[in-house]
Amino acid sequence: MKSIALTFFTTVTLVFLLLNPAYSEEILNKSILDKDTTWQGEILIKGDVEVAKGATLTIMPGTTVRFAKIEEFGSEKLSQDRLSHFPRAELIVRGHLYSQGTPQNKIVFTSAEEVPHPGDWGSINLLNTDDNIIEYCIVKYAHTGVHAHSAQVVVAHSEFHHNSVAVGQKNLKGSQKSVLPMLYNTITENGGGILYGGGSTPTISHNEINNNKFFGIYAKKGGLANVRYNNITGNGKGVIFFKVKTIHLRDNNISDNTDYNVSMLEGQATDINVSGNYWGTTDKGAIKKLIKDHDWDETLGAVDFSDFLQAPVAGAGLN
């Protein structure tokens, strides 16, 4: 009797799994999605997948997208352009991407490797596109989790960890400017946190940017970014500047970064104003000790941290 009941249960379960798309795996090789598409359940990507201009990819809450580790710029790549693409498998968006999970059912982008490592897959790579949303997602083990190349995308309420770089942004020559609001995200345990450059002007607000190996935020030849109400702690370097003219960076808690809370790189000759932040202490000498600027190297500009806050910013981070 037990054997009959077990056989019946197994058969019913198998039929359920086969008929319910949320429990079956869809495999995609190198391909271009040229019409509106919805992903749900388990998705395995084994080469570049591109959302063509004019098409929309909608990813449903609870979906897991896994990327196989392919040969770098091998036969499973759609493009050999190394300026706009990453070495391994990417989700390339030229049309539109709506990847909106929920707090209870987040969308996961990850490696398909049994033992995953940062850089196993390329990126959610948005190329000269607008009207995109990435919300309540978990992105891990990518080269660059999300990268906006002259693209417009909202990244909110998401988690980035164990990527080489969590989020990147730059403008392509002759294309529209990137617009990338990054709001209420957790960016932790990556090689680098947020990297922006090429004249892009991101809004970075209410994020936890913590414990990234090399940097929390790297401003590289960027435009006028707005960086407010973030917790930037425990990174190799908190905020890095390279050939930046100006930035709105205030009302952040920036402290306990290993090398420097603020570091100017060679080539940053312009002075930078970062007043109005909390540095983990009210001791001016202690604050200055973790700022690398003109006082360390006369070829660098000076960092103005005057008018620093006397207490932590209560509303910073995910609050």
How many angstroms separate the CA atoms of 143 and 256, rounded? 26
Q: Give the full edge-to-edge strand order of the sheet including 231-233.
A: 25-28, 42-45, 64-67, 107-111, 137-140, 159-161, 186-188, 208-210, 231-233, 253-255
Q: Which two tokens stand for residue 116?
A: 């995953």
Please check whether residue 316 is in contact with residue 252, taking contact to mean a CB–CB distance below 8 angstroms: yes
Over pLDDT 90: what percentage of the chain? 84
Q: Domain segments of the chain: what residues?
A: 26-160, 184-319
pLDDT reported for residue 272: 96
Q: What is the mean pLDDT of the chain?
A: 92
Q: Which range among 18-22, 152-156, 166-170, 311-315 shows the weakest confidence by mean pLDDT?
A: 18-22
pTM for this model (two decimals): 0.91
d(CA 302, CA 294): 5
The model's pLDDT over 271-294, given as tens digits with 9 standing for 90+, comes to: 999 999 999 999 999 999 999 999
Residues 6+ apart with CB under 8 A from 201: 177, 178, 179, 222, 223, 224, 225, 226
In this structure, are residues 157 and 180 in contact, taking their beta carbons and an 8 Å threshold?
no
Query: In whole angstroms, what is the distance from residue 88 CA to residue 127 CA?
Result: 16
Task: Look at residue 11 and tell me whether its pLDDT is greater than 90.
Answer: no
Going by pLDDT thresholds of 50, 70 and 90, the confidence category of residue 198 is confident
Digit-coded pLDDT (tens) for 105-129: 999 999 999 999 999 999 999 999 9
pLDDT in tens, 34-85: 999 999 999 999 999 999 999 999 999 999 999 999 999 999 999 999 989 9
In the predicted model, is pLDDT for residue 221 greater than 70?
A: yes
Q: Return the structure tokens found at 265.
A: 């790189």
Q: pLDDT tier at 24 (50, 70, 90 boundaries)?
A: confident
When mean pLDDT is compared across 105-114, 197-206, 256-265, the lowest value belongs to 197-206
- Average pLDDT in the 239-266 region? 96
